Amino acid sequence: MADSRTPPEVDRAAASRRAVAVRRERAALKRDVATRVITPQELLRRAIADPASAAGTMRITDFLTALPAIGEGKRDRILADLEISPVKRVGGLGARQRAALRRFLDGRWPEPTPREGRSRLVVLAGPTAVGKGTVAAAIAAHHPEILLSVSATTRTPRPGEVDGEHYYFVDDAEFDRMIEAGELLEHATVHNRFRYGTPKAPIDAALAQGRTVLLEIDLQGARQVRAAAPDATLVFLLPPSWDELVQRLVGRGTEGEEERARRLKTAKVELASQGEFDHHVVNDDVTRAAAEVASLAR
Ligand code: 5GP
197-218: per-residue pLDDT in tens?
A: 999 999 999 999 889 999 999 9
Contacts of 127 (CB under 8 A, 6+ apart): 239, 245, 266, 267, 270, 271
What is the C-alpha separation between 221 and 279, in angstroms, rounded?
Answer: 17
Low-confidence residues of the chain: pLDDT under 50: 1
Tell me the C-alpha to C-alpha distance, in Å, between residue 12 and each of 1, 19, 20, 38, 105.
Answer: 18, 10, 12, 33, 38
What is the radius of gyration, based on Cα positions, of the chain?
23
pLDDT at 239: 96
Give the relative orientation of helices 132-142 and 286-296 as an angle to the nearest 10 degrees.
70
Q: Count of CB atoms within 10 A of residue 3's CB?
A: 6
Measured from the Cα of 125, ligand 1's closest atom is 12
Protein residues with CB under 6 Å of any ligand 1 atom = 132, 151, 155, 186, 188, 190, 196-198, 216-218, 220-221
For residue 111, the CA-to-ligand 1 centroid distance in Å is: 27
Q: How far is CA 98 from the centre of its chain?
A: 26
Nearest CA to ligand 1 atom 21: 217
For residue 153, the CA-to-ligand 1 centroid distance in Å is: 8
* pLDDT tens readout for residues 143-165: 888 999 999 999 999 999 999 99
Sign of CA pseudo-dihedral 234, 149, 286, 244 = negative
Upper half-sphere CA count for residue 262 (Cβ side, 13 Å): 7
How many residues appear in the chain? 298
pLDDT at 76: 97
Nearest CA to ligand 1 atom 6: 190
Pocket test for ligand 1, best of 134, 169, 186, 196 (most atoms within 8 A of CB): 196
